[in-house]
DNA sequence: TTTGAAATAAATGCTAG
DNA sequence: CTAGCATTTATTTCAAA
């Protein structure tokens, strides 16, 4: 279920000091860094560091910690972006399709965007044939989908993020 | 530095059994789950579980574990996709621009794609004004960039990934 | 490869500055 | 908010199956 603008516990625009930012940068780099190592790196006592990290979690600044996998090693070496354009922008139609796209096997992220397209679906698949099947069976199958356009992804690189400046 | 097809230690298409897949699914969901909890969840001894996880890391199936942050709480509430089209596809030009885009402040991911566009730059910025400045100062500033098109991102949702089926 | 149990290391709770 | 110390919990190691 998506919510499409229902308000949920949004993190207060917390006031983060240098220590917090250093902690965040370290955990983005290595989310399994031990509290001891983290404390040493940012220059505070271990108990203080643990306190800070807990506060950052509870306030929602740290959303979660997740393993990132090598999708090629898992048999999904092909990445693609499927641009999806809708014929109707009825609220229910949009919400329903969004839910469907998120549930597509191999879907990594789904962006609801404004502009030429409505959704950008980033998928990882086993092969080009599977990509075709995926689009036919899980995307264009819905009447609200007017048109799709697929781009092969040659390479994905992580950006520097928002913490560096 | 990007490599653009120079070969690096790619994970062998490892043979993963059900236990491995269960471990991976759990760690994608919660990368800080304790080894004890993980072992209980997948039904093996703690020492076995630790052994498996270490193997999955060393073989490169688990690439890394990272904290995910609430970018809004960090003052970057606006997301956008900047489609970048190049005028020249000279190898050096492509590689250089790729490196530049990855280093853009606020860049989350940069996709090198085939099709209408060459790069898709996903950024998180402080405001629409900053978005404009970012594009002018860090993207269109390069002569190799022929044209950009920017789409506002309303919402980002995680897909089900490749492990569910 | 898997395991249990011992040894090491880390996180948490409590106290107080 | 911070730090030190004691307690509880987790990870690593290793001999054995």
Give the tens place of pLDDT for each residue, A108-155: 999 999 999 999 999 999 999 999 999 999 999 999 999 999 999 999
Of all residues in chain A, the one with the smallest CA distance to B158 is A109
pLDDT at B6: 41
**Chain A residues with CB inside 8 Å of B155's CB?**
2, 4, 98, 111-112
More confident residue, B2 or B26: B26
pLDDT tier for residue B14 given thresholds of 50, 70 and 90:
low
Give the tens place of pLDDT for each residue, A68-109: 999 999 999 999 999 999 999 999 999 999 999 999 999 999
Rounded CA-CA distance A53/A24 in Å is: 9
Q: In the predicted model, is pLDDT for residue A2 greater than 90?
A: no
pLDDT tier for residue A8 given thresholds of 50, 70 and 90:
very low
Q: Taking CB atoms and an 8 Å cut-off, how many pairs form between chains A and B?
A: 251
pLDDT at A41: 94
CA of residue A47 to C1' of nucleotide C15, angstroms: 13
Q: Which residues pair with B65 in a beta bridge?
A: A67
* pTM (two decimals): 0.93
- B151 sits in which H/E element: strand B145-158
**Chain A residues with CB inside 8 Å of B64's CB?**
30-31, 67-68
Rounded CA-CA distance B134/B4 in Å is: 25
pLDDT at B165: 72
Closest by CA position to A124, among listed A94, A85, A148, A156: A156
Give percent of chain B with pLDDT exceeding 90: 90
pLDDT tier for residue A164 given thresholds of 50, 70 and 90:
confident
Task: Give the best residue of B8, B38, B66, B80 to mutate against chain A (max A CB count within 10 A).
Answer: B66
- CA of A19: nearest nucleotide by C1' is D1
pLDDT at B12: 52
The 10 Å Cβ neighbour count of residue A17 is 9
pLDDT at A132: 98
Average pLDDT, chain B: 93
Two tokens, residue B57:
């890391």
The whole-number average pLDDT for the span B33-48 is: 96
Yes or no, beta carbons of B159 and A123 under 8 Å apart: yes
Cβ B32 vs Cβ A72: under 8 Å: no
pLDDT tier for residue B15 given thresholds of 50, 70 and 90:
confident
pLDDT at B32: 96
The whole-number average pLDDT for the span B95-118 is: 97
Q: In the predicted model, is pLDDT for residue A58 greater than 50?
A: yes
* Helices first, then strands: H and E counts in chain A: 5, 5
Work out if A34's Cβ lies within 7 angstroms of strand D: no
pLDDT tier for residue A11 given thresholds of 50, 70 and 90:
very low
Task: Give the best residue of A77, A98, A159, A165 to mutate against chain B (max B CB count within 10 A).
Answer: A159
Closest by CA position to B119, among listed B140, B79, B148, B143: B148
The whole-number average pLDDT for the span B30-59 is: 96
Two tokens, residue B35:
């080894």
pLDDT at B3: 46
Yes or no, beta carbons of B73 and A152 under 8 Å apart: no
Q: In the predicted model, is pLDDT for residue A5 greater than 70?
A: no
pLDDT tier for residue B7 given thresholds of 50, 70 and 90:
very low
pLDDT at A15: 82
Of all residues in chain A, the one with the smallest CA distance to B163 is A106
**Chain A residues with CB inside 8 Å of B138's CB?**
none
What phi, psi does A124 have (nearest 5°)?
-120, 125
């Amino acid at each position: 279920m998506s919510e499409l603008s229902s308000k949920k516990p949004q993190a207060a625009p917390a006031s983060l000091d240098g220590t917090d930012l250093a902690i965040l940068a370290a955990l983005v780099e290595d989310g399994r860094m031990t509290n001891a190592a983290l404390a040493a790196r940012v220059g505070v006592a271990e108990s203080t560091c643990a306190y800070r990290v807990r506060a950052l979690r509870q306030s929602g600044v740290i959303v979660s910690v997740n393993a990132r996998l090598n999708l090629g090693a898992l048999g999904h070496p092909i990445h693609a972006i499927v641009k999806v354009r809708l014929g109707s922008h009825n609220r229910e139609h949009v919400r329903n399709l969004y839910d469907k796209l998120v549930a597509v096997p191999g879907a990594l992220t789904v962006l609801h965007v404004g502009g030429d397209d409505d959704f950008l679906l980033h998928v990882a698949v086993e092969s080009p044939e599977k990509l075709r099947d995926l689009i036919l069976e899980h995307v264009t199958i819905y009447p609200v989908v007017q048109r799709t356009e697929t781009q092969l992804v040659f390479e994905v690189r992580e950006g520097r993020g928002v913490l560096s400046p």
